[in-house]
Amino acid sequence: MTPPALGAAAPVPRSYRATFQAAPGLPLIMATVAAHMMMFGMLTPVMAIYASDFGVAEWAIGLMITVFAAGRLLADIPAGHASQRFGLSTMLWLGPAIAGSASLLGAFAVSYEMLLAGRALQGVGSGIYMTAATVYCASVGDRHVRGRIMALFQGALLAGAAMGPVTGGIVADLFGLSGPFLASAAVGGVTAILVAVTIHPPEIGKKGGHHGPSGKLLALLLIAPFACVLLINFGIFMTRTAGQWQMIPLLATERFAMSPGDIGLAITVSALANLAVLPIAGTIVDTLPRPLVIVLSTLAAAASVAVIALSGSELAFWLAMAAMGVSTGLGGPAVAAFAVDVAPEEMIGPAMGVMRFAGDFGYLLGPLSLGALVDLALVTHAGALLVNAVLLAVFAVVFSIFVAIRPAKPAGGSS
């Protein structure tokens, strides 16, 4: 059964339970999103060790992460267009199928090059699926429930990412280093079959099909609010990888002599704060003007990163880590929902592909650029975090200049 757009011809759901009931396919999509994140998280404990067994250099081990991100970048925008041209159903099962097959390639790799090729294909499969899943979430809800749906989406991402490493570690202990790759392949295969058999998403983008891919991309980038929200999305992903995963651990070791366990706990505190705020974040995003939520949450994230960079005590560090989790937990659903709000209905697929691309570009470019600043001795680790904070603040100001902050439309309006 193809679900209607929530709120299109029925009372607007006022709770998460009502939202799930109005879109029967949504719980399964959230479960598969979590599973998708888990299948890649399972590889984290063994990836570097597995690659090093082929006798490659340290930079080549790091390349395993880079090619995955590059594969996602290559797939994001084409997947958005393909969701409209070939159907969203096809993209929803094709992505996990490619990612699962690529995991098999890694499990049975006889050379580093074969392992690297599998990793790149995993990125392509992930880019296809995550773009398609975002399009699905955008297409089943109107603006009055979109914040809650995107909060659920972000929660599924976090839950899957949290379960992956511990699951992968257990599997590796039981079945060896190739075990997590085989388990990842199984998850991808099961996900592909479940989605293909049970999910029947609504048709998207049937109007305005005369525009080619390049024409749609240009038209989207000429929409000022959409272009501005791309900047915010870039900044959020950059902060996650370059700030939280790269510079903050180095700063914590350098300034507070924290152990890896303490650093891991600090990152977990931020993730738990993010997850904890998501239920109320969805309601806030559906109630308050989304541009206002985006600006305030981005500025709060910038302030949190700056406090971490300048903190002279561990207490300030820990509080700022929690604050960063809260601010990104509020901002993530608002950014995703607002991008759908301002994108033309006939371009929703390409729009979500471009959104994914902007985020993945920040994911890839952030660590390289801030790391280069430190390597060139232009800034310290704290200085790199301050650069991160300033960029977030600038993006928030640019967004506020070009996007009018208006009260949310009353329930019952158009999507």
- For position 414, what pLDDT does the model report? 39
Mean pLDDT of the 263-284 span: 90
Say which CATH number the domain at 175 has.
Answer: 1.20.1250.20
Same domain assignment for residues 245 and 359: yes
> For the chain, how many structural domains are there in total?
2
- Ranges 14-23, 112-121, 265-274, most confident: 112-121
Looking at the structure, do residues 194 and 285 belong to the same domain, yes or no?
no
In this predicted structure, the answer to whether residue 57 has a pLDDT above a threshold of 90 is no
* Domain interval for residue 309: 216-402
Lowest mean pLDDT of 197-201, 285-289, 353-357, name the range: 197-201
Q: What is the DSSP letter of 242?
A: I
**pLDDT above 50 (res 1):** no
Long-range Cβ contact pairs of 208-211 (< 8 A, separation 24 or more): 208/344, 208/346, 208/347, 209/84, 209/346, 211/347
- Residue 134's alpha-carbon distances to 141, 319, 353, in angstroms, are 11, 32, 9
What is the pTM (predicted TM-score) of this model? 0.82
Percentage above 70 pLDDT, the chain: 90
More confident residue, 205 or 18: 18
**Pick from 255, 133, 137, 142: which is nearest to 195 by CA?**
133
Structure confidence at residue 405 as a pLDDT band (50, 70, 90): low
Could you read off the pLDDT of 242-255 as tens digits, one per residue?
Answer: 888 889 988 998 99
Same domain for 172 and 101, yes or no, is: yes
pLDDT at residue 91 in the model: 94
**Final residue in a domain of this structure, among 142, 172, 203:** 203
Based on the domain organization, do 253 and 376 belong to the same domain?
Answer: yes
Helical segments of 176-289, H only? 179-198, 213-221, 224-238, 248-256, 260-287
- 12-16, 65-69, 179-183, 359-363: which range is least confident on average? 12-16
**Are both 289 and 395 inside the same structural domain?**
yes
For residue 332, what pLDDT is reported? 93
The whole-number pLDDT of residue 127 equals 95
State mean pLDDT over 130-158.
88
In a domain, 303, yes or no: yes
Last residue of a domain, one of 148, 168, 203: 203
Residue-averaged pLDDT of the chain: 87
Domain end among 155, 180, 203? 203
pLDDT for res 7: 42
Contact call for residues 47 and 179 (beta carbons, < 8 A) = no
Percent of the residues in the chain that have a pLDDT greater than 90, as a whole number: 54
pLDDT, tens digit, for every residue of 168-225?
889 999 999 899 999 999 999 999 999 999 888 777 665 545 556 667 778 888 899 9
pLDDT attached to residue 156: 93
Cα separation, 197 vs 57, whole angstroms: 44
Does residue 52 or residue 394 have the better pLDDT? 394
Count of C-beta atoms within a 10 Å radius of residue 411: 14
Q: Are residues 164 and 249 in the same domain?
A: no
Please check whether residues 256 and 301 belong to one and the same domain. yes
C-alpha span between 30 and 23 (Å, rounded) = 12
Tokens of 343: 């994108």
* Residues 6 or more apart whose Cβ sits within 8 Å of residue 374: 247, 380, 381, 383, 384
Q: Classify residue 44: in a domain, yes or no.
A: yes
C-beta of residue 316 within 8 angstroms of C-beta of residue 203:
no
Give the pLDDT confidence score for residue 98 in this predicted structure. Answer: 97
pLDDT at 8: 40
Per-residue pLDDT band for 409 (boundaries 50, 70, 90) equals: very low
Mean pLDDT computed over 1-30: 63
One domain for residues 241 and 197: no
Cα 101 to Cα 122: distance, rounded to the nearest angstrom: 8
The answer to the question of residue 413 being in a domain is no
Q: Mark whether 170 and 279 lie in a shared domain.
A: no
| Range 25-54 average pLDDT | 88
Query: Does residue 1 sit within a domain?
Result: no
User: Do 266 and 252 contact (CB within 8 A), yes or no?
Assistant: yes
pLDDT, residue 297, reads: 97
| Residue (of 150, 40, 131) closest to 357 by Cα position | 131
Mean pLDDT to the nearest integer, 146-157: 91
